[in-house]
Structure 1
Amino acid sequence: MIKDRIEATDFRDAMSLLTTAVNVVTTEGVSGVHGFTASAVCSVTDTPPTLLVCMNQTSRSHAYFIENRTLSVNVLGAHHESISNTFASKLQSAERFEQGAWTQLVTGSPILEDALVSFDCEIEHIQEVGTHSVFMCRVVAIKQSEQQDGSEEGLVYFNRAYSRVGQVDIA
């Protein structure tokens, strides 16, 4: 159906059919430690290494990310569905970080130890677009999973449900 004006619900329904990786985005700094589940994350350029992360301005963690000016993007594996749900819940920040094992790289933002890959970033630019802030993030460190044998599966979100992607070698 083609419309002259696209309603927000129509847009959300259409976007639910765009498969996206599931990530937990974290920050730690003067305003404390915080995190949220995000699917709006993508590569911008490799020179310099830069990611784009979108965050709803009404999120209770939004001001903390703005103040800290750092974040880490933790790309979740198929076994992290419960961590995704925890960071998307109404739990307080401290309670969210009770699940999983966390460490730090350069910026001090929490890195999930068994994430498929984690990107440690400094927020260089912030652009407000509608209801969201778009963070342009310079990657300052990367930690990849130690399990590089092709046996890991990624966690994705499609049609409002989790799915797994990747091929598991069964030998």
Structure 2
Amino acid sequence: MNHPISKGEFRDAMARVCAPVNVITTKGPAGRGGFTATAMCSVTDEPPTLLVCMNARSAQAGLFVENRRFCVNVLTPDHRDLAGLFAGQQSDMEARYAAADWTEFPSGNQALSDAMVSFDCRLVEARLVGTHNVLIGEVVDIRCRKDGQALLYFDRSYVHVASQAALHGG
């Protein structure tokens, strides 16, 4: 392929990549915010670090950088509606949070009470790459469920898969 890749080609190709659905939250001196993201992955386990990508044009972009912390909440199929709210179906942040139960980490970050896993992160770097901020966070606390199924995004739709424990009767 010798031609530049168009935005549409890239987006269509990325739609074929299965990704976990996450609600990313922050709470700190700059206020409380949250958004839905599939662009999240581990970076290293020494120290435990992950990254999240957030549209730099989002009204909340500065909030996450100013608070210097965020929480990654990995969703289950029961959170499909919540994912939509945090993806922008609901612009009022208080209404987004009112749609679920939350617990608080010692850092002040809010974790979804019934998330598959919640990673409490201290922001160590924010870098602008094209249209998005890449937020790199050191994981300072984790809350993890032992059961449930993951909500995934594939072909521009929500899907889910059973956990290995559920498949093997455990």
Q: TM-score range by the shorter chain?
A: over 0.9
Counterpart amino acid of residue 162 in structure 1: Y
Counterpart amino acid of residue 125 in structure 1: E
Counterpart amino acid of residue 105 in structure 1: F
Q: Which moved more, 1:43-52 or 1:104-113?
A: 104-113
Match of residue 55 from structure 2: 56
CA distance, structure 2, for counterparts of residue 123 and residue 9 of structure 1: 31
Q: How many residue pairs get matched?
A: 166
Displacement of 1:61 in angstroms is 1.1
Are the counterparts in 2 of residues 19 and 157 from structure 1 also a CA contact under 8 Å?
A: yes
Counterpart amino acid of residue 33 in structure 2: H
Q: Which moved more, 1:159-168 or 1:34-43?
A: 159-168
CA distance, structure 2, for counterparts of residue 73 and residue 79 of structure 1: 17
Displacement of 1:45 in angstroms is 0.5
Match of residue 140 from structure 1: 140
Which portions of structure 1, spanning 4 or more consecutive aligned residues, are displaced by more than 4 angstroms? Answer: none
Displacement of 1:93 in angstroms is 1.0
- 1:90-105 equivalences under 5 Å are 90-105=90-105
CA distance, structure 1, for counterparts of residue 132 and residue 2 of structure 2: 24
Counterpart amino acid of residue 93 in structure 1: M
Match of residue 158 from structure 2: 162
Spell out, residue by residue over 1:127-168, the C-alpha distance to the aligned partner (whole angstroms, 9 max, x if none).
1100011111000000012xx2x4x11000000000001243
- 1:1-171 equivalences under 5 Å are 2-89=1-88, 90-145=90-145, 148=146, 150=147, 152-167=148-163, 168=166
Are the counterparts in 2 of residues 106 and 120 from structure 1 also a CA contact under 8 Å?
A: no
Give the unaligned 5+ runs of structure 2: none
- For normalisation by structure 1, the TM-score amounts to 0.93
Are the counterparts in 2 of residues 83 and 99 from structure 1 also a CA contact under 8 Å?
A: yes
CA distance, structure 1, for counterparts of residue 157 and residue 33 of structure 2: 24
Displacement of 1:126 in angstroms is 1.1
Identity level (%): 42
Counterpart amino acid of residue 144 in structure 1: C
Displacement of 1:3 in angstroms is 4.5
Spell out, residue by residue over 1:8-52, the C-alpha distance to the aligned partner (whole angstroms, 9 max, x if none).
111011000000000000000111110000000000011100001
CA distance, structure 2, for counterparts of residue 64 and residue 92 of structure 1: 15
RMSD: 1.4
Spell out, residue by residue over 1:64-113, the C-alpha distance to the aligned partner (whole angstroms, 9 max, x if none).
00110100000001111011011012421111101110111132111000
CA distance, structure 2, for counterparts of residue 109 and residue 160 of structure 1: 29
- For normalisation by structure 2, the TM-score amounts to 0.93
CA distance, structure 2, for counterparts of residue 33 and residue 102 of structure 1: 13
